[in-house]
Chain A
Amino acid sequence: MEGLKAVTVTDRDGVILIKSVSNDVSQRVLEPALSTTFAVISDQASKLGLKKNKSIVSLFGIFQIVQFNHTPLITTLVADSDSNTGVLLDLGDELKEITDIISSALSDRQVI
């Protein structure tokens, strides 16, 4: 997808499970701080009185970050700020099919 720089699937502690990063983007976008911040913020947003938080889009000057609350996992997309946000949100919904498989595998393992 045009402008997409990085995709990561992490847990709530920022531990990366899956990643795909473009060569022309700083490795700093892989830092756990991005996911741990989202975990805190998503919990806060769920207290707005608008039920559970689904996603947060944050637009910076150069990049935009789209993060999804795929409990217990967090999917993060980093793209150019002029990329199509709607397409990124759709992509996150598509990726949910993959994260759901991982989530159910994780919960099965926790039962054992």
Chain B
Amino acid sequence: MPPVPNFQLSIVNVLLNSEGSPLAFVSDSDYDARVYAAIASNIWSTFDKNGKNLMREDNLKFMLVECEKGNVAITMVSNMLLCLVATPDVELGILKAKTDALAKHLEEPFQRVTAYTQA
């Protein structure tokens, strides 16, 4: 029988602002969410800054950080970051698909929030 895909997917979902403070998260422990948020934000901003210099002002769209005991997907939604953490048995393509789907779902309402906060 073919292996059944793991649809439980991510173990932690964090939505954070560009400074790395979590705005909302789904996680067993708030400590984990805060750690993921802080490090994800740092990784994104460092790569985005250096990538812009090297990639002809091209913006960073998505990042996938693969570790021995889990994978982290990071993407930008409006001016916030969305970070998904999954166990290694979740296929990277599925993780990216879920991140893209969540980002697409959140983009429109968050643009309104951004417009409101900047007004």
Which A residues are closer than 8 A to B by beta carbons? 26, 28-29, 31, 33-34, 37, 40-41, 44-63, 65, 85-86, 89
CB of A86 within 8 A of CB of B92, answer yes
Chain A residues contacting B72 (CB-CB under 8 Å) are 45, 48, 50
Checking B43, B55, B59 against A41 with a beta-carbon cut-off of 8 angstroms, the contacting residue is B43
- A52 vs B67: C-alpha distance in the bound complex, in angstroms? 6
Checking B61, B65, B93 against A56 with a beta-carbon cut-off of 8 angstroms, the contacting residue is B65
Q: Report whether over half of chain A's contact residues are helix, strand or loop; otherwise say mixed.
A: mixed
- A44 vs B68: C-alpha distance in the bound complex, in angstroms? 14
Q: How many residues of B contact A (CB 8 A)?
A: 32
Checking A53, A57, A60, A89 against B58 with a beta-carbon cut-off of 8 angstroms, the contacting residue is A60
Which B residues are closer than 8 A to A by beta carbons? 32, 35-36, 39, 42-43, 46-47, 50-51, 53-56, 58-72, 85, 92-93
In the complex, what residue of chain B is closest to A49 when comparing beta carbons? B35
Chain A residues contacting B35 (CB-CB under 8 Å) are 47-49
Pairs across A and B, CB under 8 Å, 6 listed:
A51-B67, A56-B43, A56-B64, A58-B47, A58-B62, A65-B51
CB of B32 within 8 A of CB of A60, answer no
In the complex, what residue of chain B is closest to A40 when comparing beta carbons? B46
Chain A residues contacting B39 (CB-CB under 8 Å) are 44-45, 47-48
Given A31-B54, A62-B58: A54 touches B68 (CB 8 Å cut-off): yes
Chain A residues contacting B92 (CB-CB under 8 Å) are 85-86, 89
Given A28-B54, A48-B72, A50-B67: A59 touches B46 (CB 8 Å cut-off): no
CB of A33 within 8 A of CB of B50, answer yes
Q: Nearest Cβ in chain B — how far from A1, in angstroms? A: 18
CB of B43 within 8 A of CB of A45, answer yes
In the complex, what residue of chain B is closest to A66 when comparing beta carbons? B64
Given A48-B72, A85-B92: A57 touches B63 (CB 8 Å cut-off): yes
- A26 vs B69: C-alpha distance in the bound complex, in angstroms? 35
